[in-house]
Amino acid sequence: MDNTYLIEKDFKELLKEQSAYKEVISLAHWDMRTKIPKKGVDQRSEVVGFMAEKVHQLETSEKMKYFIDVLKDQTEDDIIRKTVEECEENYERNRKIPHDEYKEYVMLQSKAEAIWQEAREKSDFSLFQPFLEKLVEYNKKFANYWGYEKNIYDALLHNYEPGVTTETLDQVFPSVRDSLTELLGKITNSSVKPNPDVLKGHFSKAKQEAFALEVLNKMGYDFNAGRLDETIHPFAIALNIHDVRVTTRYDEEDFRMAVFGTIHEGGHALYEQNINPSLANTPLATGTSMGIHESQSLFWENFVGRSEAFWYSHYNLFKDFAPASFQAVPHGQFYKAVNEVKPSFIRIEADELTYSLHIMVRYELEKALINGDIKVKDLPGLWNEKMKDYLGITPPSDKQGVLQDIHWSGGDFGYFPSYALGYMYAAQFNHTLNKEMNVDDLIASGEFHQIKEWFTKHVHQYGKMKKPLEILNDVTGESLNPAYLVNYLTKKYSGIYQF
């Protein structure tokens, strides 16, 4: 028997062992964000830290180094070759972090998330501040371990959006911000306004959940490989390609939180559920980047879920679950109302147009934190200043301001830009998709399967076999082009606000 075959077989066994630990870690995180009793957090954090340390040891072991050295020039299997490339990058980055520091960091993450929840509930940043200070210092230390060329933030950005740099963001974001604020000015000055009052009415959590489940099913979400649960901050999590879970958050006085949040997380889940099964138990069996991941969630939430075509075909279904106050509201009024542009304090409640401005606030603050230009203790005030500058509003509390998002409590520095990048990717994908099929006609007829199959063919199936910018170029024939997003928003909102 060929010796390379035997080595590949042993390599796969090592990857399977890593995957087993990672799956249990993901399950533990899901439980901590949905079901765990408060007193169980510390012990669970210890368990997660122990398992994460095991993964770190496996990823940086001599055994892993042996497989990388032997297989990277010998294997003829494309999946193994790409897996070796991914493992080599993980090895080179992770071996620079001492095992004990990594374990301490993972335990800190788990505890910080629990403290963040308490701080958010009490709207008291001071509770979270000491944990965030430690998380920032760890991230700066890790970034220096990994190394970077121009900006320390690039080392963290690489974890979520390989191929994109701070220099790129600092070129793209200001131009997009200027276009969005110009559009926002036109909308503010328009005499034509949607009537948000038509959306008012007590909408029970049970009925919202029932509608959300219907929509997920129509999107093609496989409930035999997933489930829907409730949480404070909605997320989707993939334990493996056959167990991809979605969570949402309900507000009985504003159904939009759950409806659009569920569609958003459902978009993430479709990505993970439709990765090629041949990639299972390898580090390639996940989304290629958070930006491409966000392109999927934002495509479904905005280009589908907030479209006129969607509400044309799903409004009667919605009214089957909605309270009496919605029954006499015309479809056109409802569509315009759910697309009202109004600067808001909460990112996940933001309208399509102002959403990216929220991301830019966070990006600028965390970049400044990592570069040492600002201190953690100053975040609440600086946050409010940027919200005033970009959105014209000042959060009345930490809960509605600096404490609203979970990401920093998990140490996810470098993550936020992917939301805005994902929106740009989604617009670019949408432009290409419309060259091949009439997307609005498909949505209006409820034929989502063709859209889902297109994304599975061009994006989902590859997992991390392709790099994010490689996928973007292969699908659309060009590199990142933010003009598609600006054009989409201009066309949509000039129609709603008639300017």
Catalytic residue numbers?
A: 265
Calpha distance 427→489 (Å, rounded): 9
Cα distances from 404 to residues 177, 251, 340, in angstroms, run 22, 15, 22
The residues, ordered by sequence, that sit 6+ positions from 439 with a Cβ below 8 Å of its Cβ are: 303, 309, 430, 433, 451
Calpha distance 292→419 (Å, rounded): 9
Calpha distance 465→78 (Å, rounded): 9
Buried b or exposed e, range 140-177, using 16+ CB within 10 angstroms: bebbeebebeebbbbbbbbbbbebbbbebbeebbeebb
Calculate ∠ Cα 152-473-94, nearest 5°.
35
Calpha distance 25→142 (Å, rounded): 21
- For residues 211 and 259, the answer to whether their CB atoms sit within 8 Å is yes
Count other C-beta atoms under 10 Å from residue 349's C-beta.
Answer: 18
Calpha distance 82→103 (Å, rounded): 28
State the DSSP code for 477: S
Token pair, residue 79, equals 């999946």
Calculate ∠ Cα 174-140-89, nearest 5°.
90
Calpha distance 366→370 (Å, rounded): 6
Token pair, residue 19, equals 């995957």
Place of tokens 């620079």: 96
- For residues 7 and 67, the answer to whether their CB atoms sit within 8 Å is yes
